Amino acid sequence: MNMISRDERKKQKGINKFINSFTYPIKGLRYAYRNEQNLAVDVGVAILVILCGLIFKISGFEWAILALTIGLVISCELINTAIEAVVDLVTEEYHPLAKVAKDTSAAAVFIFAIVAVIVGIIIFLPKIIILFR
pLDDT tens, residue by residue, 22-77: 888 999 999 999 999 999 999 999 999 999 999 999 999 999 999 999 999 999 99
pLDDT at 3 over 70: no
If DSSP codes are grouped into helix, strand and coil, which group holds residue 59? coil
pLDDT at 1 over 60: no
Find the angle CA(81)-CA(85)-CA(89) to the nearest 5 degrees. 175
Find the angle CA(71)-CA(74)-CA(79) to the nearest 5 degrees. 120
Note the pLDDT of residue 20.
Answer: 82
Phi, psi torsion values for 57, nearest 5 degrees = 50, 60
Note the pLDDT of residue 9.
Answer: 58
Residue 77 annotated among the catalytic residues of the structure = yes
Q: What is the pLDDT of residues 98-131, one digit of tens each?
A: 999 999 999 999 999 999 999 999 999 999 999 9
In the set 8, 36, 62, 77, the catalytic residue is 77
Note the pLDDT of residue 108.
Answer: 97
Q: What is the pTM of this model?
A: 0.82
